[in-house]
Amino acid sequence: MNKIEKLSTVPAAFSTIGEKVNELIGANPPLKAGAGITITDSDDSRLIALDTGVISSYFNNNFRFRHPFQVYLTTSGNANILTESRAYTSLGTSSTSITNLTTAFSLASNTYVWLQFTVSSLAVTAISRQTGTAWPSLVVTSGSPAVQTQFNVPIGKVTSSKPTAPGFEFKKSGTSYHFEQLLFSHLLVENRYNNLTAQIYAFPWSGA
């Protein structure tokens, strides 16, 4: 049977779950059997089993609010970042290219994702998307007096399952995890002072 019918009767204790299941079934584009749904039919009943990891991925890709630097699961189970994500090095309409921005990457139990800005003479010379198992220093300097050579902006990280946090749930080897989204806006690089040392860093901006 190809078409999944909405649930018509649900016990009161499970009414909230029933509403969510019907939302999934009535989704446009339709959610078909095979995309995280297993259907078992008998003469007088139908059992619908949901793979929460796949369903979370489906909704993340198709129905959730989209925003700059949004991390989402791809159909292959890897992660990617929304293309419409921009970093500006000055006020204007031209953003700076970000290396590896839309290159898919895998999520593990300890994956951290950030943007690395290379700095020379208080100017950005390159930006790239990076992953690792811990946060790098937010601002990197060298020499004495200190001269800034880099800064890093967190995008998000993998934590234990946390369905109410920003981001999305996913499964790895049968274990539930959560990708916690930390960045939601385009970025603008600004000049700042930290302990009387001139530095630059990127802050949320609406973009252009």
H, E, C per residue of the chain: CCCCCCCCCCCHHHHHHHHHHHHHHCCCCCCCCCCCEEEEECCCCEEEEECHHHHHHHHHHHCCCCCCCCEEECCCCCEEECCCCCEECCCCCCCECCECCCCCECCCCCCEEEEEEEEECCEEEEEEEEEECCCCCCEEEECCCCEEEEEEEEEEEEEECCCCCCEEEEEECCEEEEEEECCCCEEEEEEEEECCEEEEEEEEECCC
Higher pLDDT, 72 or 54: 72
Q: Which amino acid is at 193?
A: Y
Confidence category of residue 1, pLDDT binned at 50, 70, 90 = very low
- Judged against a pLDDT cut of 70, whether residue 57 lies above it is answered with no
pLDDT > 90 fraction of the chain, expressed in percent and rounded: 54
Higher pLDDT, 180 or 52: 180
Judge contact between 131 and 79, C-beta under 8 A.
no
Note the pLDDT of residue 53.
Answer: 58
- Judged against a pLDDT cut of 60, whether residue 84 lies above it is answered with yes
What is the pLDDT averaged over residues 58-70? 72
Q: What is the pLDDT of residues 96-136, one digit of tens each?
A: 999 999 999 999 999 999 999 999 999 999 999 999 999 99
Q: Which two tokens stand for residue 190?
A: 């600004």
What is the pLDDT averaged over residues 5-24? 67
Sign of CA dihedral 204, 165, 177, 52: negative
Q: Locate the domains of the chain by residue range.
A: 1-50, 52-205
